[in-house]
Amino acid sequence: MVTTSKKLVISGYYGFRNSGDEAVLKSILTALEEESQRSNVTIEPIVLSIDPEWTTSMYGVRAVHRMKLKEVREALKESDGLISGGGSLLQDATGLKSIPYYLGVIKLAQWLKKPTFIYAQGIGPVNRKIFNPMIKSVFKSCTYVSVRDEQSADYLRRLGLKWNQIHVVPDPVMGLPLPDKASVDRGHESSASLDHVPAETGIPAVTNDAVQVSQQQVSQQQVHTEAAVDKHAKLPVIGVSVRFWEEDRKELTAIAAGLKKLAAKKAVHLRFMPFHLPDDVQASRFMMEMLGDVTSKGSEVSITEDLTDPQQMLEEVSRCDLMIGMRLHSLIYAASQYVPPVGISYDPKIDQFLLRLDSEPAGSTTTLDGDKLAVTVAKLLDQRSQWLKEHEDQITSLKQEAREPAKQIITYLGRKG
C-alpha cells in the first residue's frame, strides 16, 4: 500500500498554558496519528500557537505564530487542509476578538482553496447578532463540521446549516489516553519541588502530596513522598479545579464553605488542580486560605503547580475519587477516567457536558450553596461504585466516539490521494 503524506494546519487556543486547551490539542494529535496508522495517510501537523517554540518542545510538532499573518498564510498555502478546534473558539462571552480571529483563519484557508474541518467545537454563547451571518457563511463552505453538543448543533441549524452537515461528537479530550510510565516519572521529577506552598502563606500542611517540605528538604522529597503514600491511601482524594469568575468571589467562598464542612465530618485529601496558569493558581490559593487548618480532623490539602503537560494532569485527575470543577476540562478529564465529576456552572458549556452524562451541576456561580455542595460530595463519595456502575458503559462509548472527527478527516484525505 502506497502511503501519502498530508500537512494539516491546526488552529485553536494553543500555547497559552491552559491545560484544557492543551489537552484538546494533544487529543487531536493523538487521534490523527492513531487513525493515520490504520490508513495510507500520514499526517504532518502545523500548529498555530501563541508560543511556537513551547508547542514544538511539548508535542514534537511544527508550530508557527498564530498572530503573524505571513506565517499563518504560508503554512496554509503549503498545507493540505485546516482543522479548526476544538474548544469554545466561537463565542463572544470573553471578548469581541475570538470569533473574527478564528473565522478569519478558516476563511483564509478557504480562499486558498484548502479543505476546512471543524473539529468538535462548542459554539456559543454568541450574544451579538452581527456574528451570525459570518459564522453561517464560513461554516457552509466547510468540508466537515462536528460540534461537541446538541446546543451547538441547534445553533448552526437555526443559522441554516442542514442537519446532515453537522456531526455531534464528544469533546476530543474524552479520547485522551494516560501517559506512558516513563513520561509520568519525568513529569513528577520535574515538578516535585514546584507543588510546595511556602510556610509564610499561613496555610498549614499544604504541600505536594500533603507532605511538608521546606526548600532545604527538597533533596529528601522522594523519601517523604514514599512515606506519604500509605497515609493518603486511606483518604479519599477530591480534586478541586477553580477559577475566578464572580467579582465578589462568592462562588469560591461557597465552595470553600462546603469543603470545610465536609472536612469537618470526613477526613479527605483536597487536591487543588490549577488548569489555567497562573490565574487558577491564585484562585486555588485564595480558597486554600479560606479553608484554614483542616488537619485537626485528619484531612489534608495539596496543590499541583506549573503542571502544563495535559497527560500528566490527566494522570493527576485519574488518582482522584471525585472531581469538583469549574473548568470544563477538569470535568471531562474526570469523566474520561471514570471519576465522578461535580460541576460548578459559570457557562452553559458546563451544563451541556454534564447533560451528556445525564447529570447536572451542583449549582451555578451565582446560586451555589456550600452546605448542599458538602452533602452532594459526601453522598457521591459513599455511592461512587454505584455511580460507576450507572455510567461506565456510557463513558466508554463517549471515549470511542471522540475519535470520529479524526477518522472522517483521514478518510477524506485518503480519498483525495
88 backbone dihedrals φ, ψ, rounded to 5°: -95, 75
**Percentage above 70 pLDDT, the chain:** 87
Residue 198 buriedness (CB in 10 A; 0-12 / 13-18 / 19+)? exposed
DSSP string, 63-126: EEETT-HHHHHHHHHHSS-EEEEEES-S--SS-SSHHHHHHHHHHHHHHTT--EEEEEE-----
Sheet of strand 300-303: strand arrangement: 300-303, 269-272, 237-241, 322-325, 341-345, 363-364
Q: Is pLDDT of 101 > 90?
A: yes
Sheet of strand 4-11: strand arrangement: 62-65, 41-49, 4-11, 82-87, 116-121, 144-147, 166-168
Nearest of 176, 177, 214, 219 to residue 197 by alpha carbon: 214
Identify the pLDDT of residue 383: 96
Cell 520535574: give the residue. 190
Nearest of 230, 260, 222, 245 to residue 374 by alpha carbon: 260
* C-alpha torsion sign, points 220, 224, 226, 227: positive
Number of neighbours of residue 325 by Cβ within 10 angstroms:
25
CA 135 to CA 113: how far, in whole Å?
18
Identify the pLDDT of residue 237: 98
* C-alpha torsion sign, points 220, 286, 345, 84: negative
CA 60 to CA 267: how far, in whole Å?
42
**Percentage above 90 pLDDT, the chain:** 80
Do the beta carbons of residue 275 and residue 303 sit within 8 Å?
A: no
Identify the pLDDT of residue 416: 80
Do the beta carbons of residue 144 and residue 405 sit within 8 Å?
A: yes
Query: With bands split at pLDDT 50, 70 and 90, how would you rate the model's confidence at 191?
Result: very low
pLDDT in tens, 39-69: 989 999 999 999 999 999 999 999 999 999 9
Distances (CA, A) of 91 to 76, 88, 96: 24, 7, 8
Q: Is pLDDT of 87 > 70?
A: yes
Identify the pLDDT of residue 406: 98
Contacts of 265 (CB under 8 A, 6+ apart): 297, 374, 378
Number of neighbours of residue 368 by Cβ within 10 angstroms:
22
Identify the pLDDT of residue 180: 82
Identify the pLDDT of residue 181: 65
CA 84 to CA 25: how far, in whole Å?
11
Biggest distance spanned by C-alpha atoms of the chain = 66
192 backbone dihedrals φ, ψ, rounded to 5°: -55, -45
Nearest of 169, 121, 183 to residue 313 by alpha carbon: 183
pLDDT in tens, 312-371: 999 999 999 999 999 999 999 999 999 999 999 999 999 999 999 999 999 999 999 999
CA 409 to CA 417: how far, in whole Å?
13
Identify the pLDDT of residue 98: 96
Q: Is pLDDT of 172 > 70?
A: yes
Contacts of 225 (CB under 8 A, 6+ apart): 192, 208, 209, 211
